[in-house]
A and B are shown apart, each in its own frame.
Chain A
Amino acid sequence: MPTPLHIVVCAGIVPDPLQTLEPTTTATGPGLKNEMVLPAVLDPWAACALYEAANLVAKNPGSKLWLVSLGPKAKLQQVMMTVAQKVAFELVPIDGPIGGFPDAHATAAALAEAIDGIAGLDKAKLLLFGGWESATRGAGVTLAIVGERLGITDQFEGVDQIELREDGSFEVLERIEGGRHQVSVCAGAPAVLGWATGNLSEPRNNPQIGMANMRTIMPALQKAKTAKLDANGLRYVSVSQPKQQRTTRVVKDMTPDEIAAELVEWIGAE
């Protein structure tokens, strides 16, 4: 018998990776120049978690999927126009600041409170998903703290695969050093899984899924609660772009043999 699951995916929104990012000072602390107008996408690792979650829900009838996301409402709406076409989910938006500079502890508290308030969520069936790190703060701590706040002490980080078993237990592969996975078996939900890339490709856009999702996303966005994130004593001494700019020697006039000889010498040099 399949095991019905209640999967909650925590996913932030991040600037499109191809954008140039320039730090600046705002009234509330460090930020990015023109942050609100930079094209945004769903956090890449968290997106992998979302696709894996949707795959699990599809395989386990009776399961449900929620996407919890914190960010300015306008940016959330913009990103959801695309994400909503990928997989079916119920959005739990939190209207809050954008970016990687707010404190992770405060972010985790807001996310945990929102998850706690999800109507119909059975915590005994809860798998809490997210990226193992974000592409903004990149700390890899928010999901674990949310898990602790929800009292979940089976946590996995750098997950690439989960395989559900008949009895509700699951085998999970976590990335460890040296390009290997640690293999564990968990008795079942509740658990926290911070995903690396997983193994699924990005689903193609499906306008029908998009239309169905948007029917609930827009009202949810209108009702989104506002979260004020405390700094918790975190202070930024400096925020800057790396200055390192290399003087690149562009070699156009060497034969493959000459390049190879130069490379071999370079590889061997201490």
Chain B
Amino acid sequence: MESILVLTHADESGAALTKASLEAVTAGLELSSRLGAPLAIGIVAADVANLSKALPVAKILAVAGEAFAQARYATDAAACEALCRAANATIMLVAAGSRFARVAAGVAHRLGGAIDTHITAIGGSEAIEASRWFYRQRVEAVITRDARPWLLLLDAGTHAAYAGEAGNAPAELVAVDLPATRTTVSGTRAPQQDAQTIRPDAKLLLVAGAGWTKKQPDGQVHTSEAATLILGFLRATSASLGSSKSLVDQGGEGNSVLPFLTHMNQIGQTGATPRHAKGLSTCCHGEEPHVVGWRFIGERRAISLDANCGWARGKADVVYVADAFPVMAKVNELLTAAKG
């Protein structure tokens, strides 16, 4: 019989679990209910006093202490290993996010188990079956494994964050044999840019392609105007900004660039595959935005000068064959007027 452990951790404030952790709790509750398997939740945090109260299960294990206030491989791997050994579960659902993505594979190896990541769904009637993508979201597979423990690192946004009734089970503290730490975390740093343009929770994704920095009908490039239009749109809509690889790469090739773009904005083959309800691509032509980067975008529209863009056709819901400059200028004007 299977038993399930959900691995969660506190957010940067330390006062709550991350949204991805609560999504993993939902996945754990669903799987536990379907299999009739016991469910435990493990928490990694500096202080777990208030974190366990939000959770609806009878068994809560926790690793606590100042060493776990920050994300660091050595301490987080030791913490997760201790929780997994204490729970002795066969299936471990691991919350999405950079913190656990860094350590989950190492933990699986230490436990003598197996791991699969980027899990988008868990199904199966007789055996547990997990869905994930291969080849940058171009091939979808359903897999199963005999090996136990089996760690499944969930993708963010594939389950609703748990917001149900709170429980009252106290957290059972698990001791961790901490290794000597050679790494000190000194904080976080945002790329130098005028404004924060990456907003994972935004409803809308704006994708800027290399066309914004190409010569326009007057024979000139209009990079600063492009920057104003894009930033104006982001301000008006609170959208997140993605970019094609070709546009980001231009900065390294000495070409005219949009100053607020970094590789962090890049979507596609060597970039992110974000999840947003809507996506609008502008001045893009190529595989990345429409096939790879757009896989998990709900409604998709594109503004392109190429009516025959093979990558937009069949991938976007609407393609406007137009010059993005005047269209986006008018869009910004209308959005600003609507805001009063």
Q: Which residues of A pack against B, CB within 8 Å?
A: 14-15, 17-18, 21, 23, 30, 32, 44-45, 48, 100-101, 103-105, 108, 135-142, 144-145, 147-149, 153-158, 160, 173-188, 196-201, 232-242, 245-252, 254, 256-257, 259-261, 263-264, 266-268
Contacts and interface: CB of A to CB of B under 8 A. Distances in A.
Interface string B242-269: 0000000100110000000011111001
Contact of A236 (B143, B184, B187): B143
Most buried by B among A100, A148, A182: A182
Contact of A233 (B145, B253, B333): B145
Interface of B: 71-74, 77, 97-99, 101-106, 108-110, 114-118, 124, 129, 133-136, 138-147, 179, 182-191, 196-200, 204, 237, 249, 252-253, 262-266, 269-271, 278, 280, 287, 295, 299-301, 303, 307, 312-323, 326-331, 333-335, 338
Nearest to B179: A153
A261 B135 contact: no
B269 A135 contact: yes
A30 B145 CA distance: 15
Contact of A252 (B129, B264, B307, B331): B307
A201 to B, nearest CB: 4
Contacts of B249: 201
A46 to B, nearest CB: 10
A233 B200 contact: no
Contacts of B338: 264, 268
A66 B192 CA distance: 33
A136 B135 CA distance: 4
A144 to B, nearest CB: 4
A139 B335 CA distance: 40
A65 B307 CA distance: 47
B156 to A, nearest CB: 9
Contacts of A154: 73-74, 182-183
Contacts of B143: 234-237
A104 B117 CA distance: 11
Main secondary structure of the interface of B (DSSP, over half): mixed
Contacts of B183: 154, 184-187
7 contacts: A181-B190, A184-B183, A233-B146, A237-B124, A242-B140, A248-B319, A263-B301
A121 to B, nearest CB: 20
A160 B115 CA distance: 25
A234 B114 contact: yes
B102 A138 contact: no
A252 B321 CA distance: 5
Contacts of A181: 188-191
B316 to A, nearest CB: 6
A177 B146 CA distance: 33
A183 B189 contact: yes
Given A157-B101, A175-B98, A259-B322, A185 B179 contact: no
A100 B134 contact: yes
